[in-house]
Amino acid sequence: MSHDHHHGHHHHAATSNLKLAFFLNFGFTIIEFIGGILTNSTAILADAVHDLGDSFALAQAWYFETLSQKHPSRSYTYGYKRFSLLGATISALLLLASSLYVLGEAIPRIIEPEHSDAQGMVLLAIFGIAVNGFAMMRLAKGNSANMRVVAMHLLEDVLGWASILVVAIILMFTDLHILDPILACLIALYILSNVVKQLKTIVPVFLQASPDGFDPAEMEQKIAALPGVESVHHLHLWSLDDDHVVLSVHVVTAQVLSSDEYRQLKQQFKNLMEDSHIDHSTLEIEWPDEPCRIASSLRGGDHADDHQHPQARTVSD
């Protein structure tokens, strides 16, 4: 009971910190957009876009920190982990569109610089450092990887506002207003580079590609090397959310197994999955000469299976 209470306390504290950080960040993002327009600063508008992306990250972290306690349902039998991909995709597309808009506003100002309100920029920058710094310190104390990643995003915001503060101070004493759109372009390009990295991670997971660090051919060989296994086919590896890995496979045994041999094979398979850090696995065992139920449903029968799985006849040592 004390362990459950301790865990529940940490979970409640984590959720509360994420909730607070979200409202602080999102509220300040609105102020940024208004301030960027009033000060005529594209750099502040660019950072507002950056903070908007972090607001989405905080909202997802808050939502999934709560959702992580929810069990799989009849509709979502694998649970709700994959929802994070949907949220990340929406966030990435929004950041992509917003960053392109900022670039469209900033590039013409590099050619023909416009006057920016340096004093207003200084006040917003100080406020931005304070708000994001406070939220970052609250989340940096968290135990979950989710919260630590979001805290790193907020640290980037603090550094972004520090750069805006430096530019604003320079503009108070010089007439180099070209610095504002240049900084805006740098921030927007930084956001775009992160969006591209994010999409390069998300798209393969959506398309159920094999996760990085997992080689299907190597897994096939390891399973085929288990005692009593004649061959392996229909091996599939994918990821639920770029973190939890799933595997399904059919194995053909060298002979009809006794009850003890059947249990031993399943235990050896389980041990292999644990050693390989695979979170969820499905094993289908077929006796010698037993037709594969999937192959028989494909057009062309066994030939279709052989065509799709050229290594289906891998024999164990």
**Domain at 216-308, CATH from 3.30.70.1350, 3.20.20.70, 3.40.50.10800, 3.40.50.720:** 3.30.70.1350
- Residue-by-residue DSSP string for 66-128: HHTTSPP-SS-TT-STTHHHHHHHHHHHHHHHHHHHHHHHHHHHHHS-----HHHHHHHHHHH
Residues of the chain with CATH 1.20.1510: 2-206
pLDDT per position as a tens digit, 194-221: 888 888 888 888 888 898 889 999 999 9
Fold of 2-206: Alpha-lytic protease prodomain-like (1.20.1510)
Mean pLDDT of all residues in 129-150? 71
Residues of the chain with CATH 3.30.70.1350: 216-308
Q: Give the pLDDT band (50/70/90) at residue 102.
A: confident
Cα dist. 221→62, 86, 136, 233, 303 in Å?
41, 34, 46, 11, 22
Whether pTM exceeds 0.75: no
Lowest mean pLDDT among 29-33, 119-123, 157-161: 157-161
Lowest mean pLDDT among 140-154, 160-174, 299-313: 299-313
Q: How far apart, in whole angstroms, are the C-alpha atoms of residue 95 and residue 125?
A: 21
